[in-house]
Amino acid sequence: CNEKAENYLVAINYFEQLLDLESRMKPEYRAEITKKIVNFRFREKALANPVSFQPQILPSEINDPNLSEYSPSLTANGRRLFFTRVINNQEDIFYSELDSSGKWQEAQIMPNLNTYENEGAHNISADGKTILFTFCSDGKTGKARGCNIYAAFKRKGTWSSPAHFAAINSKAWDSQPNISADGNTIIFASKRAGGYGGSDLWWSTQNAEGKWTIPENLGPSINTSSREESPSLHADGKTLFFKSDGHPGMGSFDLF
């Protein structure tokens, strides 16, 4: 009740008393309560120091009031937007173009890429000629069950058929790829072995021969025992945005 009323200091006091009184509490419960205390302290400070933020919704040519649209990705010139749309519980990738008058055109489904299964969680390269995306199969069409990263390339105005990105995929869940502005680094989310727990962010770089290196974990300064996903590397190649439910925040997934 104190959490819903945003009375975080009172809630923190009760949780700290609970930790002191229940010495035989299961470790997972103790960890969950400790995480709540850290988040409540953050919320108290954040709400006392708000930052101005005025988001504007994109027009109906992109946002359908009866559907879900998410995971936007812009080309470097800001004139072509790619996003995931859900129709009948199936994810597909759509795109829209900004015309000379500054108006977004009616969204179109991506050609040569979408199937009867789920495609989404994608990223377009800065030059608009490479798209990385996540393909998830339920196993019913003969494809291996699970999610992997695929790539397609635009040549002479036509998109190629998707190709499995074998160099960075594993047998685990691999998703949400993001390619750097220079095209030489890919950061993605994965639940593969060797991480810190949940889903972690991993990266791979392209060497002088054009081959992608074995993916490496981004380490404990970014990854936690919970989930880190949706990486977005700024054009400067030095600033990484991502979501996490492990770092102190407002609760559930926050942006970092």
pLDDT tens readout for residues 34-60? 888 889 999 989 988 998 989 999 999
pLDDT at 225: 93
Distance of CA 162 to the CA centre of its chain: 20
CA distance 150 to 158: 17
Q: What pLDDT does 15 receive?
A: 87
The answer to whether the predicted template modeling score (pTM) of the entire model surpasses 0.85 is: yes
Rounded distance, CA 12 to CA 10, Å?
A: 5
Q: What are the residue ranges in the chain where pLDDT is below 70? A: 1-6, 139-144
Q: Rounded to whole angstroms, what are the CA distances from 7 to 12, 40, 43, 121, 255?
A: 9, 9, 10, 36, 23
State the pLDDT at residue 24: 81
Q: What is the pLDDT of residue 65?
A: 93
Q: Whole-angstrom Cα distance, residue 164 to residue 232?
A: 21
What does the alpha-carbon distance between residue 56 and residue 62 come to, in Å, rounded to a whole number?
A: 13
* Structure confidence at residue 68 (pLDDT): 97
- Residues 255 and 79: their CA atoms lie apart, in Å, by 25
